[in-house]
Amino acid sequence: MDNSNVKHWDNDHFLHPWEGMATLGKNDRTFIEGASGIHVMNEKGERLIDGPGGMWCTQIGYGREEMAEAMAEQARNLAYFSPFNNSNSTTARFAREIAKRAPGDLNNVFFTTGGSTAVDTAIRFVHFRNNLLGRPEKKKIISRQKAYHGSTFLAASVSGKERDRHWLDKADDLAHFLPDVNPLYRAPGQSEESFLKEKVSDLENAIVALGPENVAAFIAEPVLASGGVIVPPKGYHESCLNICKKYDVLYISDEVVTAFGRLGHWFASETVFGIQPDIVTCAKGMTSGYAPMGAAIISDRLIADVAGKDATFSNGYTYSGHPVSAAAGLKSMEIIEREKLLEHVRRVTPIFQDQLQQLGQIDIVTDVRGMGLMGCVQCSVDGDPQSDLGCDYEIGSQIDIECQKRGLLVRPVINMCVLSPPLIISESEIEQMFDVLRKGLEATSTWLS
């Protein structure tokens, strides 16, 4: 196939997510044309380690023949049928496997097309339940600065990344945002314990100020992912859940990134953070990125409040529970189990986190943080960790350029780059990845000076 024009076609016809208008039609994007294991291949045929794991999603790695087979078999047998009035055995089986692994009584899986629609569904369900319980004013959602929950109108409305809130309209009366939970930005001399108290009080104060009768839910990522891998202070989620219970506010845990192995467990809420949320949203790793899918998993307790009522939860998608995606999800789950990838993640996490910490010695690096196979390197030109996003926009992109020259793809986010490699990454590949990242950071430091 003649690909000589594809860069032009890409610029002329393909509007990308978060398309920057200043560079519209003038981009020189790296084309990824193939992939195997933890590596992707660019259009020049160069192999690069996939640092971001696609976009936090390629758990079992690329090029799995049995995944292709499972999806092809499903496509041959039943490529699609409407989920509205009918069902199919592959999707029903996948729902059961998810329910078996989800925390506590989270047994009700509403399939969506991705993470944004999962968050949308969670919020719509919370509103639906309150309408049926006769309290239509209990609708507000409390979220947090730097949270990312997606790109539908509702999911974007509860997302708190400042830069993304400038250009598009949001349902501003729906959401309330709590201040940054990053312990890096605590007051000078403030202990982590007092910071934790402050952050939990932020939630309680907000509920009281808005009126508990108006607040429907609190939504939180266990670890804020796109916001820069922000790990909240220890005990944060547990304490927030207690506050939510006190005021009859539901807890939505957005596990779009953290579920399906990223922190070494199927779901992080219960096993890592000791909480049983009312609703968990997931996507990404649930099919290892082989097909689009997401889900809002709702507790039996909430379902019991609406079951039997003369009402319809009029929410859903043509592709809810798509059979080919469900086949991919089932096979990915089987591989994660057969290859003991959750145990593997728990075993290699200390190596990954230790290598990450060592990057803190490089002059432009102002903070390194992470959990499981999630990591973030934050940089600054002036070396001040408190100078957050400031004017250091191009640092992340430059790190990516320098790393790509040396065989690693990273995900630049303003002055940060984030890492979430495929879960199959070996110890030696982790070392190799960080070795390249170190060289990329040093080269960026030289470029800046």
Segment 204 to 233, residues that bind ligand PLP, using CB under 6 A? 221, 225-226
Candidate residues 50, 120, 202, 254; the one interacting with ligand PLP per rule CB under 6 A: 254
The total of other beta-carbon atoms located within 10 Å of residue 394's CB is 16
Widest pairwise Cα distance in the chain:
68
Nearer to ligand PLP, 146 or 344 (CB): 146
Candidate residues 150, 183, 222, 372; the one interacting with ligand PLP per rule CB under 6 A: 150
Q: In 3-state terms, what secondary structure has residue 445?
A: helix
Give the shortest CB-257-to-ligand PLP separation in angstroms: 5
Nearer to ligand PLP, 138 or 161 (CB): 161
Nearer to ligand PLP, 148 or 317 (CB): 148
Give the shortest CB-164-to-ligand PLP separation in angstroms: 12
Candidate residues 51, 54, 115, 160; the one interacting with ligand PLP per rule CB under 6 A: 115
116 binds ligand PLP (CB under 6 A): yes
Q: What single-letter amino acid sits at 336?
A: I
Give the shortest CB-15-to-ligand PLP separation in angstroms: 16
The total of other beta-carbon atoms located within 10 Å of residue 58's CB is 25
114 binds ligand PLP (CB under 6 A): yes
Candidate residues 98, 102, 119, 203; the one interacting with ligand PLP per rule CB under 6 A: 119
Candidate residues 148, 260, 267, 317; the one interacting with ligand PLP per rule CB under 6 A: 148
- Distance (Å, rounded) from C-alpha 403 to C-alpha 52? 13
- Distance (Å, rounded) from C-alpha 265 to C-alpha 269? 9
Q: In what order do the strands lie in the sheet with 175-178?
A: 106-112, 294-299, 279-282, 250-254, 215-220, 140-144, 175-178
Nearer to ligand PLP, 56 or 434 (CB): 56
Structure tokens given for 193: 């314990």
H-run or E-run covering 379: strand 374-379
Give the shortest CB-438-to-ligand PLP separation in angstroms: 26
Instruction: Kindly tell me the burial class for residue 310, based on how many C-beta atoms sit within 10 Å of its own C-beta (0-12, 13-18, 19 or more).
Output: exposed
Segment 13 to 52, residues that bind ligand PLP, using CB under 6 A? none
> Which of 123-131, 149-157, 295-303, 412-420 is the region at the interface with ligand PLP (rule: CB under 6 A)?
149-157
- Distance (Å, rounded) from C-alpha 279 to C-alpha 408? 36
The DSSP code sequence of 4-25 is: TTHHHHHHHH-PPTT--GGGTT
Contact 332, 341 (CB under 8 A): no
> In the complex, which residue's CB is closest to ligand PLP?
115
Structure tokens given for 15: 């509007």
Contact 229, 375 (CB under 8 A): yes
Nearer to ligand PLP, 116 or 288 (CB): 116
199 binds ligand PLP (CB under 6 A): no
Nearer to ligand PLP, 115 or 329 (CB): 115
H-run or E-run covering 378: strand 374-379
Segment 273 to 312, residues that bind ligand PLP, using CB under 6 A? 283, 294
Interacting residues toward ligand PLP by CB under 6 A: 114-116, 119, 148-151, 221, 225-226, 254, 256-257, 283, 294
